[in-house]
Structure 1
Amino acid sequence: MTKRCWSGALCAAAVLACAPAGAEEAPKSPLSIGGAIRFNYVYKNWQAAHPRGFFGLDTARLDVNYDDGQVIGSAQYRYNNFPEGQGDYTQHFLHHGWIGVRFADKSAIHVGLDKIPFGLLPFASNNFYESMAFYTGFEDMYDLGVTYSSKPGPVEWQLGFYPRDGGSYGGSSNTAGASNRYSFNIVPDDGAQGYATGQKDSERNTLVARTAWRFGPDGKQEAGISGLTGEIRNGAGDNSRRNALAIHYKGAYGPVGVMLEALRYSYHTRHAASQTYGGLDPNSFVMLGAFGYPYPVASKGDIFVANISYDIAGVVGPFTGFKVYNDYSVLSKRVGNYHGSAQNVTGLSFSSGKWYFYADYMFGKHQPYMTPDFGGLASAASKYDGVSHRINLQAGYYF
């Protein structure tokens, strides 16, 4: 090495020695912007018009997150495309949007359109289509209000108050406006795209409380209880209430994961005799809506969830993070002698870099997205008493 090189090296070393720690790297921005684009192949065994299924764009979304250690926030906007065979329509909506504060003890408060803390979190499922709790409004649910989460520890609790529901913050083509949302909420029925019952219900002033106890080695097991109560406004000034209670367990035993949940809900509706369809008791069902359309759900029911998964270690070519799972859930209806609803999803998920993949085989009975019985979560048509099958293959790029 020449003297000039030695001199340059010594100067560089002196500069680095005098520089403040961390000066080599630019400080990380608290603001991050990302998103995802997802594609689906879908096959439904009840669709004779699509004997080979169909493929297309499923979702494009934009994510904005902020975290400077104290001030936090998150928002997501989605565009959904449903090809022929899925309804042949598009929609876009605000999935969630909230701001908050993280305190010194790591407890936090959020204000805005946020996930309600109820039951198994963050999901009561491993698969993309979630569980029966999702389709009845008790999984992956977002409402507008305030959520407080306690500091992390063996026992944690959350408390939320939501004056409004998930809302219809977006637009769509050829769908029911009040149902243009991500979360399944009680919504006013739609004459053209719904069941023309004339029901005008909506959710207001929902209070949710949840506590969970983590135990076992490394806290990998959790047991918890959740409660929910809120108003149902029927548009005629005769308001009533809805209530729900859930107990849950989840645990990891090496590569094996287990999720269990038992949930009971009651919607105490006050409908006029004319606010019905098919001669049903108008208070035996309530209209829930999301993804552009409303459908009837039994006003009282019990939901049971039982999921098992297995993480497979190793790499296959560019792919890793393999998980196989079976997610089973049922809805037992406590009104009208209605037939029960069930769904089972057996699948595999894995990833490669920023790509994430699902391969799901689903079967269902009286389930609106896995059978032709779109109203099956309430009264079920006898012609749909059989089990229907659906295949969903998805590839998503997350950035």
Structure 2
Amino acid sequence: MLAPAIASAQESSASPLTLGGAIRFNYVHKSWQDEYRSGFFGLDTARLDVKYDDGRLIGSAQYRYNNYPDGQGGYWQHFLQHAWGGLRFDDGSELHVGLDKNRFGLQPFASNNFYESIAFYAGLEDKYDLGVTYLSRPGPVEWQLGFYPRDGGSYGGGSNTAGASNRYSYNIVADDAEQGYGTGQTDRERNTVIGRLAWHVGPQGNHEFGVSGLTGEIDNGRGADTRRHAAAVHYRGSYGRIGVMLQATRYRYRTAHGPEQTYGGLDPNSFFMIGGFGYPFPVASEGDIHIANISYDLPGRLGPFSQFKLYNDYSVLRKRNTAYRDSVQNVTGMSFSSGKWSFYADLMIGKHHPYLSPDLGGLASTSTAHQGFTRRINLQAGYYF
């Protein structure tokens, strides 16, 4: 007779507010950096998490501080990753208001590895904007709809970062004359609408098929607004210990740049500037992103370590401007954990990619001097509390 009363008292005394965070360290080796033949080690992220959930009122926020060693830019920055409050309705559906995640494509990520996929660097994965999001009740069929009048905003960083790019999400941003490409482009994202529909089928709903759509304005700061569009189809499935993720995305961004808003003599409307983590880079205005990931969950433990996952994540950006070379990213790796510690060991191989190549063309036009594949090794240890 006393047990239910004790359990009820414990539940009622539990606070709906929880605080947490993480601190992460990385070792990185880049095959193209001769001055750092032994790689480099340093702090990756320190972050604070706040969550609230009393059953009806809900909310979540996260603030981050990054500090990277010289081999990875030698800079620091801080930014709000997300911050929203909302309601959970009786049927389990939710309404969020604030800086919230874009529900586009595979969720919560289109990847298994720490560096995510090419879609992330093109602003179409793990992205947060300011607006209103509705999430339907859980079930075999679910849908999400969001309207975002503004992007996630920019925050602070060192003197060697681009102010407009001090942010977590890769948004369209104004170029920077000192830390960017000096194009003079001043585009911003405005009034974005995103819808997503997913079907869960199978014995435990372990196969998901989905479609997503995005449309929004591009404010170029010169009185000539244009539009951007994207659409994706995706599949996520589990076959015992094997996991599969597939996604195909097509996007088209219309811009209204003047002839002087370019670099290297390129067509100024064949690319737009996107920025995050301190720096902007160009992305082809039209392209297709293909993602194919496979993973395997290893059973058992090895000493204090468990939850081993092996994976290979492949993504490619095929640019519809035939003069631009495709950007490729392949990550082979393993993740595992021990208590509050989480670990990644990734081998990244790619080309024509801002994080995987010495050429400076971002995800748009790239140098003919760097045609081959280059490598990046990333080893990470993170403590989550």
Output the TM-score relative to the length of structure 1.
Answer: 0.94
Give the distance between the partners of 2:3 and 2:116, measured in 1 at CA: 54
Give the distance between the partners of 2:234 and 2:241, measured in 1 at CA: 20
Residue in 2 that maps onto 1:353: 339
Q: What does the per-residue CA deviation read over 1:258-302, in whole Å, with 9 as the maximum and x for residues that have no partner? A: 000000000100100010000000000000000010000000000
Give the distance between the partners of 1:20 and 1:120, measured in 2 at CA: 42
State the SS of the aligned residue for 2:300. Answer: coil
Residue in 2 that maps onto 1:279: 265
- Report the number of matched residues: 385
Shift of 1:25: 6.9
Moved more, 111-120 or 374-383: 374-383
Confirm whether residue 233 of structure 1 aligns to residue 216 of structure 2. Answer: no
Distance 1:24 1:141, change over 3 A: closer
Equivalent of 2:370 in 374, 381, 384: 384
Equivalent of 1:153 in 135, 139, 142: 139
State the SS of the aligned residue for 1:178. Answer: helix
Shift of 1:17: 8.7
Give the distance between the partners of 1:18 and 1:31, measured in 2 at CA: 24
Aligned residue identity for 2:235? Y
Residue in 2 that maps onto 1:7: none
Preserved CA contact (<8 Å) 2:157 2:278? no
Structure 1: gaps spanning 5 or more residues: 1-12
Confirm whether residue 118 of structure 1 aligns to residue 104 of structure 2. Answer: yes
State the SS of the aligned residue for 1:127. Answer: coil
Confirm whether residue 33 of structure 1 aligns to residue 19 of structure 2. Answer: yes
Residue in 1 that maps onto 2:84: 98
Q: What does the per-residue CA deviation read over 1:293-348, in whole Å, with 9 as the maximum and x for residues that have no partner? A: 00000000000000000000101100000000000000000125211010100000
Preserved CA contact (<8 Å) 1:284 1:336? no
- Equivalent positions of 1:75-224 (< 5 A) are 75-224=61-210
Give the distance between the partners of 2:3 and 2:369, measured in 1 at CA: 79
State the SS of the aligned residue for 2:267. Answer: coil
State the SS of the aligned residue for 2:204. Answer: helix
Moved more, 382-391 or 19-28: 19-28
State the SS of the aligned residue for 2:119. Answer: helix
Equivalent of 2:324 in 297, 315, 338: 338
Q: What does the per-residue CA deviation read over 1:39-70, in whole Å, with 9 as the maximum and x for residues that have no partner? A: 00000010000000001111000000000001
Shift of 1:172: 3.7
State the SS of the aligned residue for 2:34. Answer: coil
Alignment root-mean-square deviation, CA: 1.4
Preserved CA contact (<8 Å) 1:94 1:170? no
Preserved CA contact (<8 Å) 1:225 1:246? yes
Give the distance between the partners of 1:348 and 1:364, measured in 2 at CA: 18
Distance 1:173 1:60, change over 3 A: farther
Residue in 2 that maps onto 1:9: none
Give the distance between the partners of 2:322 and 2:258, measured in 1 at CA: 17
Confirm whether residue 44 of structure 1 aligns to residue 30 of structure 2. Answer: yes
Aligned residue identity for 1:397? Y
Shift of 1:23: 3.7
Give the distance between the partners of 2:67 and 2:274, measured in 1 at CA: 21
- Equivalent positions of 1:233-382 (< 5 A) are 233-382=219-368
Percent of pairs identical after alignment? 69
Aligned residue identity for 2:120? F
State the SS of the aligned residue for 2:164. Answer: helix
State the SS of the aligned residue for 2:90. Answer: coil
State the SS of the aligned residue for 1:122. Answer: coil
Give the distance between the partners of 1:139 and 1:166, measured in 2 at CA: 14
Give the distance between the partners of 1:317 and 1:63, measured in 2 at CA: 30
Output the TM-score relative to the length of structure 2.
Answer: 0.98
Shift of 1:174: 1.7
Distance 1:19 1:156, change over 3 A: closer
Q: What does the per-residue CA deviation read over 1:206-252, in whole Å, with 9 as the maximum and x for residues that have no partner? A: 00000000001100110000000000011110010000000000000
Shift of 1:195: 0.4
Aligned residue identity for 1:288? I
Give the distance between the partners of 1:24 and 1:209, measured in 2 at CA: 40
Residue in 1 that maps onto 2:44: 58
Give the distance between the partners of 1:394 and 1:55, measured in 2 at CA: 10
Residue in 1 that maps onto 2:8: 22
Give the distance between the partners of 2:135 and 2:160, measured in 1 at CA: 39
Aligned residue identity for 1:359? A
Preserved CA contact (<8 Å) 2:242 2:295? yes
Larger Rg: 1
Residue in 2 that maps onto 1:4: none
Give the distance between the partners of 2:195 and 2:366, measured in 1 at CA: 33
State the SS of the aligned residue for 2:248. Answer: strand
Distance 1:154 1:21, change over 3 A: closer
Shift of 1:372: 1.2
Give the distance between the partners of 2:6 and 2:296, measured in 1 at CA: 47
Distance 1:24 1:266, change over 3 A: closer
Distance 1:236 1:323, change over 3 A: same
Give the distance between the partners of 2:292 and 2:47, measured in 1 at CA: 30
Shift of 1:376: 3.5
Preserved CA contact (<8 Å) 1:100 1:110? yes
